[in-house]
Amino acid sequence: MARRRVGLWLVGGYGGVATTITLGLATMARGLNDRTGLVTELLDFRGLPLPEPGDFVVGGHDIRRTSFEASAREFRENSGVFEPSWLEACRDELAAASARVRPAPRLGLSRAVARLADWPDAPECRTAREAVDLIAADLAAFAESESVDHLIVLNVASTEPPFSLDATHERWKSLEPRLGDPGAVALPSSSLYALAAIEAGHTYINFTPSLGASIPALLERAGSTGSLLAGKDGKTGETLMKTVLAPMFAHRNLRVQSWVGHNIFGNRDGVVLDDPTSKSSKVETKDRVVAQILGYKPSSLVTIEYIPDMGDWKTAWDHIHFQGFLGTKMTLQFTWQGCDSLLAAPLAIDLARLADVEKRRGARGPMPHLACFFKSPEGVEENDFFKQFDALLAHCRHIKES
Amino acid sequence: MARRRVGLWLVGGYGGVATTITLGLATMARGLNDRTGLVTELLDFRGLPLPEPGDFVVGGHDIRRTSFEASAREFRENSGVFEPSWLEACRDELAAASARVRPAPRLGLSRAVARLADWPDAPECRTAREAVDLIAADLAAFAESESVDHLIVLNVASTEPPFSLDATHERWKSLEPRLGDPGAVALPSSSLYALAAIEAGHTYINFTPSLGASIPALLERAGSTGSLLAGKDGKTGETLMKTVLAPMFAHRNLRVQSWVGHNIFGNRDGVVLDDPTSKSSKVETKDRVVAQILGYKPSSLVTIEYIPDMGDWKTAWDHIHFQGFLGTKMTLQFTWQGCDSLLAAPLAIDLARLADVEKRRGARGPMPHLACFFKSPEGVEENDFFKQFDALLAHCRHIKES
Amino acid sequence: MARRRVGLWLVGGYGGVATTITLGLATMARGLNDRTGLVTELLDFRGLPLPEPGDFVVGGHDIRRTSFEASAREFRENSGVFEPSWLEACRDELAAASARVRPAPRLGLSRAVARLADWPDAPECRTAREAVDLIAADLAAFAESESVDHLIVLNVASTEPPFSLDATHERWKSLEPRLGDPGAVALPSSSLYALAAIEAGHTYINFTPSLGASIPALLERAGSTGSLLAGKDGKTGETLMKTVLAPMFAHRNLRVQSWVGHNIFGNRDGVVLDDPTSKSSKVETKDRVVAQILGYKPSSLVTIEYIPDMGDWKTAWDHIHFQGFLGTKMTLQFTWQGCDSLLAAPLAIDLARLADVEKRRGARGPMPHLACFFKSPEGVEENDFFKQFDALLAHCRHIKES
Amino acid sequence: MARRRVGLWLVGGYGGVATTITLGLATMARGLNDRTGLVTELLDFRGLPLPEPGDFVVGGHDIRRTSFEASAREFRENSGVFEPSWLEACRDELAAASARVRPAPRLGLSRAVARLADWPDAPECRTAREAVDLIAADLAAFAESESVDHLIVLNVASTEPPFSLDATHERWKSLEPRLGDPGAVALPSSSLYALAAIEAGHTYINFTPSLGASIPALLERAGSTGSLLAGKDGKTGETLMKTVLAPMFAHRNLRVQSWVGHNIFGNRDGVVLDDPTSKSSKVETKDRVVAQILGYKPSSLVTIEYIPDMGDWKTAWDHIHFQGFLGTKMTLQFTWQGCDSLLAAPLAIDLARLADVEKRRGARGPMPHLACFFKSPEGVEENDFFKQFDALLAHCRHIKES
Ligand SMILES: NC(=O)c1ccc[n+]([C@@H]2O[C@H](COP(=O)([O-])OP(=O)(O)OC[C@H]3O[C@@H](n4cnc5c(N)ncnc54)[C@H](O)[C@@H]3O)[C@@H](O)[C@H]2O)c1
Ligand SMILES: NC(=O)c1ccc[n+]([C@@H]2O[C@H](COP(=O)([O-])OP(=O)(O)OC[C@H]3O[C@@H](n4cnc5c(N)ncnc54)[C@H](O)[C@@H]3O)[C@@H](O)[C@H]2O)c1
Ligand SMILES: NC(=O)c1ccc[n+]([C@@H]2O[C@H](COP(=O)([O-])OP(=O)(O)OC[C@H]3O[C@@H](n4cnc5c(N)ncnc54)[C@H](O)[C@@H]3O)[C@@H](O)[C@H]2O)c1
Ligand SMILES: NC(=O)c1ccc[n+]([C@@H]2O[C@H](COP(=O)([O-])OP(=O)(O)OC[C@H]3O[C@@H](n4cnc5c(N)ncnc54)[C@H](O)[C@@H]3O)[C@@H](O)[C@H]2O)c1
Ligand code: NA
Ligand code: NA
């Protein structure tokens, strides 16, 4: 029997996360690296029909013209990761993948993102509908030429600023006519990709805080095409810590008075977030989880600041001030020094693997059991990491038993 | 119907934890303080027949002659906690409780602890049996004069050094004859109290890393008297953090390479732990949990050092070095600044309340559902805090449903 | 010979720093506290004719109606400092000092500060000249009734937002006529006090980042009256650390790439700074010192955020990323947990003592030898703390030798 | 005129510090790296006749058989430093230097160090005198074949345990006869090298806490040969910080109550220090500086622990508990994450350069002006880093002016 081919289409293909995914899949396929960081390699996931690294074929869209090799080299220089020997060993895979990255339409870009766009061949388009169709054509060509069994569109593009929805976004029938309207920006860029994926019944996973598929009209549309959906915003560092520590305070009945978190980092995502409008999307998702878990809202503060020399090393300092017995004030502080894309990439691969398991068993629609991977799990109220993880395990047990 | 009277007998009655328990019960009974820090006040525990602060009557043993008032004042000066106004408001309760603290027999004390003993009236005794009987007589007199419905002996005395068990400790019938032997030290001090409690069918809870009831012959004896048992070593600070964070690394498949923890503090418990033999008991229980949760043993180091000016403020710095995807090395550090006795006392009260619930429903023997309160839960392999907490909740649901 | 009487007039008399100064002088005079924290108590300052705590008589202006006793109590509750027994012992001194605090004119207040003003008796005034004269009258009455030998006006009032100077502020003769103009706000509040002090030849010390006397026209005026001047912005915590650590990096030729500092605190000064316009004054002075010392400008970031439950405990986290030999990137992080007013008050007393030494020797004008006490030392380029301290010692040696 | 040739003889030639020196000199000579980290490149040192990187010729002794290339590669793998491209570019220099490293005699090694020795060609010797002569012969051959103008013997070998001196070490005439005695270990290994250097009038610099030349009899001997001497123990990380921060507390009259420092690292130096006897030398020098600077001894604790996965990344956590005004207790914590050899190597090069300046001007004997480079500056009481640095600058000014 032929091996399964899973297409992984990276929106933001030459970014840090996307490059790490692509290089990571290649080095794992060659046995140059072990599987540390992949949740799906834990014992609990044994017995699921998970695709192997070599089963994935990578393509994508980007607004910048470069290559995986150049992007990996740049990353190495700024952040001190990736062995030069890996780049050499995987030169062919990287080149082949670069050939499958297409220039992205520039509609619906924020100002901060538009400043990055430098690919001269970017296709012209005047309406959302035109952009969606251009994207859809690229997806179709990729699926066809690579004979993929399942196509997953993964959003790892730069974070967009918040986008205001209005009444027309509530229903597909009110949104659809607006898509052809050349004047209005009916959808942000991330949602154009989501819609293209949904209309073709592909799987759509949003690893970013951007809007993506999180629009009633798009969810309605997905209902009819059966696309698998997951999002949003990968839970990698400080927020992961928050959803791990807040339950501890809750279960010990220690009253959190304030939770202050300061994040600094220096990658391209930081350049974009440095624009105040983009940042607010991110801060919002990072700040809400604590109050949800505790059941009350302590004083809180979250900053994310761009400090160029930090490269991909996202460093967070959190200061948690809490009251214990007899009103005694105590403090917990932590410093998290994580390399962001190296934390994100394996989770994105996990999501793709678990989505493929769903696809094979004929599931459709949102995948709430994947909540533990996201800062803002769509349609899931629970932010306690351990409860989310238990839900994932329960789901997997259920699959294995059925 | 008459109100329930729960006797709480504090071994180490004038220590930091014991004093905080006693003052805390008094201020809560007077409504001077809220219930922050008491796990049993969480919504999940509603509906259980939990004794109220005013339902407890406190007594105890100590080797030092002082009073709750003096002990609280000293604590305040060294550690900056306890409002002077509370001491004033609760003067009567504190004085009454002090009158119920009895001089402890000095048999089986370690050298470091013996140095503290200054109560001239300490009863003479030459054998373990004599000491047990003296303790038992004090317990009986207390139970009688205070008409308690349930007597709980809680060990919050100074930590003992490790004690070597031999074959005679395996069975009650081989241990019993040795108790009358004046030459051999058949049991450490903590186990004398445990045995006195067990023989009278009282509940015994060991909040310290000392041996207490954790001896096969004593457990066998408890089997026949039906004593409720729980232990050992309250999980308050750094170890709590370990059993919260280690599961996060495990579930994300991040490989912990080393976990280094340095603890400094300056209370009397620290004076005793500063003696190398006592310290080893403590370090051992603090170090094991991480390996159990991860399923492999990273490099590790735990120190606990006595720094007088720190008072009760146990400050821990933990440095966790871990490997993520593609072998990338990352770091998490935390600093925990907790006031030790204020963290310990509410948990000890929780244990007493939950033990009383068991007593009322006629339960007997070990209480493994209380594992989440202990660094070394007796008879329980699981150290993951959240799994332990889930087990507690399941047990309470079961009680409420039955 | 009669004892010297030094008048210490506190602008912002009921604030945290002012209250700590007043209570501290009283407890030291009574021998309840030692002199820790007073620089002028170091051996190096022996032999200078320094006034003793009991030689000071305190008065002041505030916009809020309260008392030193109430203010100290509030401080105690929010920040856990000050022994209740001190308040009792010094009740009389505090009451007497409260009687010498006068309602402040409300002219030239920022919006954030104006929100605090609640003293009904605040004197009416329409022009800067009227306000200056009102202040001057209060100063004169105080000096007279207390028979002070030397009057020091110390600004410890809330921080003002930056104030734009124009050409008329360059010369006294162009500024003076504007003072009577009811329409324009010719000077911020801090400068009104400065001018009142200067015109009467009193000493003026600015412990805040507000403008105060730092205006060419006022300095010109001081030139003719001979007022002693010092400022501005007491160097107590994070900035002190910066001016201590930056020289280390410089002397080791380690290249600082970024210096990020996040400050959180919850006192009233924080309430005012929480207003973005006030904050910018503070951030500016905190950020400049590093570049001055290093001789180049690393990436930098300074935040100061108001977190109510922190009280006076200013907690700073600084992350310094530097390059060593062969481009190797390394990191220093520190956390400073200081009680702000307790750090500030002794320095303010030091300044007053050292100013009195100058007064006695007939000095006039700016006191650049006091640079080590200030974040933005007026007229001094040097920010290296040790060079500043050396300059102070040299000055004192010079005095002693002459 | 011919270029000056400075011979740099590295005792411990294949260690981390030595390898970094050798590679660093080579890459700087080729212009592949800038001079960051070299103190002697600061403006203050302009005008001194400093040798350039290309003026040094490296040789050495080691007990392990390897090569600079292998050592650099190993270092890279464990600690993530050194670009592969540098190793390639400097292949020839590294190979040439490796050819100049000689097998070390194994006399006087501690047990922990002896375990590392694996060079089969190690010369046999039974007495200290024989060992000294063997070393001297290697030095002479090197000086001759490389035509060096000045030979500097730099000790960067593994730390030795403390060595007890007795009366015979007081005078050269009592020590000398013992050197030929085959029974007694008259000197530790480090002192054998020191003596060989001294007898030939070469310069001797001790970058380690080992004894080296710090023996009265050897100093006496150096007095007659005129050797330049400096030591001991390079001040690179935590101790540097201590000698920078302690003066701040002193100058602000803040009373340090306790200073706790925990160091972890995982390089070969750590393997050796993990042996308790070796460690005590190091802890001793790290602990003393604070008390000297403050003028009183706070509680203190220093640990250095070997954690293999940390590689050369020495991470220190320091917790400083201090009392401010009115007895208020405050805290400063810092975490230093430095790559040890990369901090040490440039200082060692600075020392060699500054020693060569002295040599050219005909100086002889100890060089106390180099104190700022050492944890335990020989013959210098002052540990305040800034005072030490001022002394160095004064010395250099003096040279330039004369
Ligand atoms: N730990 C993490 O790294 C992490 C965690 C959670 C979420 N995320 C999110 O993942 C995303 C990617 O992060 P990154 O570090 O790789 O950022 P990056 O800036 O390195 O990569 C983003 C890429 O997207 C491209 N791009 C931007 N807009 C595009 C568009 N409209 N169409 C096509 N390409 C576009 C950019 O050119 C760039 O190559 C960000 O939104 C980030 O917030 C990252
Ligand atoms: N967070 C915590 O505080 C915490 C957590 C877990 C465990 N513990 C354990 O709780 C115990 C008490 O801690 P603490 O801070 O109150 O210590 P403490 O030193 O203040 O109090 C111990 C008291 O026990 C008394 N004592 C010692 N040996 C005795 C004996 N054989 N019989 C009777 N009295 C005796 C001492 O005189 C002292 O009053 C310690 O063993 C400690 O390790 C504390
Ligand atoms: N470590 C430190 O505490 C520190 C260090 C440097 C500078 N400072 C500065 O010292 C000042 C005082 O700090 P604080 O913590 O005592 O603040 P605070 O808010 O407790 O006290 C300020 C007082 O000034 C009064 N006030 C405000 N405007 C006034 C005006 N125009 N006239 C008269 N009174 C006025 C307020 O009512 C208040 O009582 C602030 O500007 C602060 O930035 C403090
Ligand atoms: N920041 C720093 O790295 C720093 C700071 C101060 C002092 N030091 C000291 O510098 C020394 C070197 O540190 P390192 O990290 O390079 O250690 P290392 O273990 O990497 O190198 C030491 C080398 O010395 C060799 N050696 C040991 N004993 C010898 C002997 N008797 N004769 C000849 N060779 C011998 C070993 O084989 C090894 O190659 C240590 O003593 C260390 O304490 C280092
Ligand atoms: Na305790
Ligand atoms: Na303040």
Quick check: CB of A234 below 6 Å from ligand 1?
A: yes
Tally DSSP H helices, then E strands, for chain A: 14, 11
Cβ contact B84–C84 (<8 Å):
yes
CA distances from C200 to C138, C188, C193 (A): 12, 19, 11
Q: Tell me the C-alpha distance between D215 and D193, whole Å.
A: 13
Whose CA is closest to atom 31 on ligand 1?
A: A189
Chain C residues contacting B, CB < 8 Å? Answer: 80, 84, 335
Whose CA is closest to atom 36 on ligand 3?
A: C12
* Crossing angle of the two packed helices B189-199 and B216-225, in degrees rounded to 10: 20
CA distances from D119 to C386, D59, D103 (A): 50, 16, 6
Q: In this structure, what token pair is assigned to residue C394?
A: 């040299």
C155 CA distance to ligand 3 middle (Å): 8
The pLDDT score that the predictor gives to residue C185 is: 77
Q: Pairing relation of β-strands D255-265 and D313-323?
A: antiparallel
Question: In which residue are the tokens 């907790």 written?
Answer: B338
Which segments in chain C show pLDDT lower than 70?
1, 275-287
Judged by DSSP in three states, C352 sits in: helix
| D233 contacts D274 by C-beta, under 8 angstroms | no
The pLDDT score that the predictor gives to residue A252 is: 96
Q: Which residue of chain D comes nearest to C246, CA vs CA? A: D244
Chain B residues with beta carbon closer than 8 angstroms to that of A388: none
Model confidence over A177-197: pLDDT tens digits? Answer: 999 998 777 899 999 999 999
| C157 contacts C190 by C-beta, under 8 angstroms | yes
Q: Tell me the C-alpha distance between D393 and A312, whole Å.
A: 40
Chain B residues contacting C, CB < 8 Å? Answer: 80, 84, 335
Q: Tell me the C-alpha distance between B247 and B383, whole Å.
A: 9
Cβ contact B80–C80 (<8 Å):
yes
Give D107→chain C minimum CA distance, Å. Answer: 34
Chain A residues contacting D, CB < 8 Å? Answer: 80, 84, 335
The pLDDT score that the predictor gives to residue D395 is: 97
Where does ligand 4 bind, in terms of residues with CB under 6 Å? D 11-12, 14-17, 61-64, 104, 109, 113, 116, 156-159, 189, 207-208, 233-234, 236, 267-269, 340-341, 343-344
**φ/ψ (deg, to 5) at D193:** -65, -45
* C-alpha closest to that of C75 among D326, B311, D322, B28: D326
CA distances from B40 to A328, A394, D55 (A): 18, 28, 74
The pLDDT score that the predictor gives to residue A1 is: 55
The ligand 1 atom at the shortest distance from the C-alpha of residue A312 is 15
Quick check: CB of B157 below 6 Å from ligand 2?
A: yes
Whose CA is closest to atom 39 on ligand 2?
A: B15
Whose CA is closest to atom 39 on ligand 4?
A: D15
Cβ contact B329–D80 (<8 Å):
yes
Quick check: CB of B234 below 6 Å from ligand 2?
A: yes
Q: Which residue of chain A comes nearest to B389, CA vs CA? A: A251
Chain C residues with beta carbon closer than 8 angstroms to that of B84: 84
Q: Tell me the C-alpha distance between A59 and A146, whole Å.
A: 10
- Identify each DSSP E strand in A105-208 by its residue range: 150-155, 203-206
Cβ contact C80–B84 (<8 Å):
no
Residues in chain B: 402
Q: What is the mean pLDDT of residues B85-109?
A: 96
Q: Which residue from D33, D39, D241 is facing C327, i.e. has the nearest CB?
A: D33
Chain B residues with beta carbon closer than 8 angstroms to that of C311: none
Quick check: CB of A14 below 6 Å from ligand 1?
A: yes
The pLDDT score that the predictor gives to residue A319 is: 97
Statement: residue A380 has pLDDT above 80 = yes
CA D60, distance to chain mean position in Å, is 14
Statement: residue A17 has pLDDT above 70 = yes
Q: Average model confidence (pLDDT) for chain A? A: 94
The ligand 3 atom at the shortest distance from the C-alpha of residue C105 is 32
Query: How many Cα neighbours within 13 Å face the side chain of C207?
Result: 31
The 10 Å CB-count burial string (b at 16+, else e) for B19-43 is bbbbbbbbbbbeebbebbbbbbbbe
Cβ contact A299–C305 (<8 Å):
no
Question: D353 versus B161: which is more confidently predicted?
Answer: D353
CA distances from B186 to B138, B183, B194, C47, D388 (A): 21, 9, 13, 68, 61
Ligand that comes closest to the CA of residue B67: 2
Give A42→chain B minimum CA distance, Å. Answer: 7
Chain A residues with beta carbon closer than 8 angstroms to that of D80: 80
Chain D residues with beta carbon closer than 8 angstroms to that of B299: 307-309
Statement: residue B1 has pLDDT above 60 = no
* C-alpha closest to that of B296 among B332, B323, B329, B327: B323
Q: How confident is the model at residue A281 (pLDDT cuts 50, 70, 90)?
A: low
The ligand 4 atom at the shortest distance from the C-alpha of residue D109 is 31
* C-alpha closest to that of A153 among A10, A56, A12: A10
| D285 contacts D231 by C-beta, under 8 angstroms | no
Quick check: CB of A108 below 6 Å from ligand 1?
A: no
Query: How many Cα neighbours within 13 Å face the side chain of A327?
Result: 16
The domains located in chain A, with CATH, are 6-234+342-401 (3.40.50.720), 238-338 (3.30.360.10)
The pLDDT score that the predictor gives to residue B281 is: 62
The pLDDT score that the predictor gives to residue C182 is: 86
Q: Which residue of chain A comes nearest to D79, CA vs CA? A: A80
Ligand that comes closest to the CA of residue A231: 1
Ligand 1 pocket test target in A10, A14, A17 with most atoms within 8 Å of CB: A17
List the chains bordering chain A where 3 or more Cβ pairs fall under 8 Å: B, C, D
Q: Average model confidence (pLDDT) for chain B? A: 94
List helix spans (H) across C108-237: 111-114, 128-145, 172-179, 189-199, 216-225
The pLDDT score that the predictor gives to residue B279 is: 63
The pLDDT score that the predictor gives to residue D280 is: 65
Q: Which residue of chain C comes nearest to D40, CA vs CA? A: C253
Q: Tell me the C-alpha distance between C259 and C244, whole Å.
A: 14
Statement: residue D183 has pLDDT above 90 = no
Close Cβ partners of B35 (under 8 Å, ≥ 6 residues apart): A253, B28, B41
Q: How confident is the model at residue B284 (pLDDT cuts 50, 70, 90)?
A: low
CA B11, distance to chain mean position in Å, is 10
Q: In this structure, what token pair is assigned to residue C350?
A: 């030091």
| A36 contacts B325 by C-beta, under 8 angstroms | yes
Give D316→chain B minimum CA distance, Å. Answer: 10
Cβ contact A245–B244 (<8 Å):
yes
Whose CA is closest to atom 17 on ligand 1?
A: A269
Q: What is the mean pLDDT of residues D109-133?
A: 92
Q: Which of C315, C319, C328 has the most A C-beta neighbours within 10 Å, making it the best mutation to test the interface with A?
A: C319
The ligand 4 atom at the shortest distance from the C-alpha of residue D375 is 6
Q: Which residue of chain D comes nearest to A77, CA vs CA? A: D83
Q: Which of A304, A307, A323, A328 has the most C C-beta neighbours within 10 Å, making it the best mutation to test the interface with C?
A: A307
Model confidence over A312-362: pLDDT tens digits? Answer: 999 999 999 999 999 999 999 999 999 999 999 999 999 999 999 999 999
Q: What is the DSSP letter of D90?
A: T
Q: Which residue from A33, A34, A39 is facing B251, i.e. has the nearest CB?
A: A39
Give B85→chain C minimum CA distance, Å. Answer: 10
Q: What is the mean pLDDT of residues D133-154?
A: 98
Chain C residues with beta carbon closer than 8 angstroms to that of D248: 240-241, 244, 385
Dump the DSSP string for A239-252: HHHHHHHHHHHHHT
Cβ contact D80–A80 (<8 Å):
yes
D175 CA distance to ligand 4 middle (Å): 27
